[in-house]
A and B are shown apart, each in its own frame.
Chain A
Amino acid sequence: MSSDIILVIVVATALAFDFTNGFHDTANVVATSISTHAMPPRIAVAYAAIFNFVGAFISLEVAATVANDVVDAGVITPTVVFAGLIGAIAWNLATWYFGLPSSSSHALIGGVVGSAFAASGADAVLGDGVLGKVLIPAVIAPVLAFVAAVIAINVVYGIVGRERPGPVSRGFRFGQVISGGMLALAHGTNDAQKTMGVITLALIANGTISSDADVPFWVVVSAASAIALGTYTGGWRIIRTMGTRIIKMDAAQGFSAQGAGAAVILASSHYGFPLSTTQVISGGVMGAGAGKKVSAVRWGVAGNIVVAWLLTLPAAAAIGAATYGFSQLFGDGAAGPVVISTLCLAALGFVFVRRLREEPLPA
């Protein structure tokens, strides 16, 4: 009974994380479309939410990686998964509060690794999987998006550089409806699957399903719905950071950045690499800016983002480990997760309301 209560709390927490992931990350997805006036903010956000939902259904490779290749499902418990989720949510909210587009994905993996380490030691962490499936792709993917966007924008300027700017700009703004949709689809594919993976991991740890079982369909639908709802709620502060503070973009740059980002995320998702979509999109945005003019990129802002990236894994891991330790003060039962959930809900409500009061939504 106690483990079932914890499992319910874990599923609810995972879906809350998925919601914050949509809230936090999808701002990055729509920022370029908004920055180039390809779409008004509210329509861009609603559009991204729909494609996020659809994207969650097109692959399960990343979910399999998170469930099987990061921590040893055989030795962890639902409480460990819960503590990892709290680590990820806490770090996500902190970076959202300060307007830093850090990685929700690395926060999630960092949180789960930290709590697993605190619970069962180093043996619970699958080092090969973390290195080969998470860390190395994490380094390669944003660089790849940067390079693809640099090449793409130069090819674009080579083809249409001598044409009249009006029709070209209108054409690429229309194109951003497609590339923005593809980017939202890619984001839904990669990020919703991480939540599916974590819920599946908790179900395996609880003994509800076997370790070789497929991701249950209700998990897919609920993760897709949560990320789409989070997306629709939006994250206006980060939209400003991504869309205008890194570079000022024209529509061709926006199209190139989104196209490069979508291509990298979809290709990586196909092979089960749980990427940071934030990092990839940032790489694409910076590449599209640097491809036109290196000084167009505000490298200082980009540097702040890199610092947030570097801090994410260890910070989320530390919070995950601390949360697990705190929950153990209440014993192995459901009391720890219940107390922590209550405290988190109170803190989350306070921060959320305060931030929304400070920042009215743009029209």
Chain B
Amino acid sequence: MLATVIETKELLQTVAASLIAGVGITAAFAILIFGVTRSADMVRSERPLLATAAGALAAIALLVVITSIVLGIVVMTQK
């Protein structure tokens, strides 16, 4: 009886989406902070190549964060 009541597919999709978004966006934001911090440190140490690489990593992470949030809201509004 319980199996017919539980909306298994929706619940599993909720679990997957929550973990991917909750952990993924937080991880991307942490990488963004890592990139910005390292880039600033490398600039101070006069290592421009590493500073650029860290800055690029931060830029990619920022793009991932923004895209994920926008995508999430678009999906929410389209059902």
Contacts and interface: CB of A to CB of B under 8 A. Distances in A.
Interface of A: 58-59, 61, 128, 131-133, 136-137, 140, 144-145, 147-149, 151-153, 155-156, 159-160, 163-164, 167-168, 171-172, 175, 178, 182, 185, 189, 252, 255-256, 259-260, 262-264, 266-271, 273
B26 A152 contact: yes
Contacts of B36: 167, 171
B26 to A, nearest CB: 4
Given A152-B27, A171-B32, A163 B22 contact: no
Contacts of A185: 73
B79 to A, nearest CB: 6
B33 A147 contact: no
Interface of B: 2, 4-7, 10-11, 13-15, 17-19, 21-23, 25-27, 29-34, 36-38, 40, 65, 69, 72-73, 75-77, 79
A136 B22 contact: no
A148 B23 contact: yes
B5 A128 contact: yes
B37 A259 contact: no
Contacts of B14: 137, 140, 144, 264, 267-268, 270-271, 273
B7 A132 contact: yes
13 contacts: A128-B5, A131-B2, A136-B5, A144-B14, A144-B19, A152-B26, A155-B30, A167-B33, A171-B36, A189-B76, A260-B26, A267-B21, A271-B7
Contacts of B76: 58-59, 189, 266, 269-270
Q: DSSP class of B's interface residues: helix, strand, loop or mixed? A: helix
Given A58-B73, A133-B7, A136-B6, A156 B15 contact: no
B29 A175 contact: yes
A168 B35 CA distance: 11
Contacts of A155: 23, 26-27, 30
Given A128-B5, A271-B7, A264 B26 contact: no
A263 B22 contact: yes
A132 B6 contact: yes
A252 B32 CA distance: 13
Given A131-B5, A151-B19, A163-B37, A259 B77 contact: no
Contact of B19 (A148, A178, A271): A148
Nearest to A151: B23
B13 to A, nearest CB: 7
A266 B68 CA distance: 13
A156 B30 CA distance: 6
Contacts of B32: 171
A268 B14 CA distance: 6
Contacts of A152: 22-23, 26-27
Contact of A255 (B7, B13, B15, B26): B26
B41 to A, nearest CB: 8
Given A137-B11, A159-B30, A160-B33, A58 B69 contact: no
Contacts of A61: 79
Nearest to B15: A144
A144 B16 CA distance: 10
Given A151-B23, A152-B26, A167 B37 contact: yes
A132 B5 CA distance: 5
Contacts of A255: 26, 29
Contacts of B19: 144, 147-148, 151, 263
A159 B22 contact: no
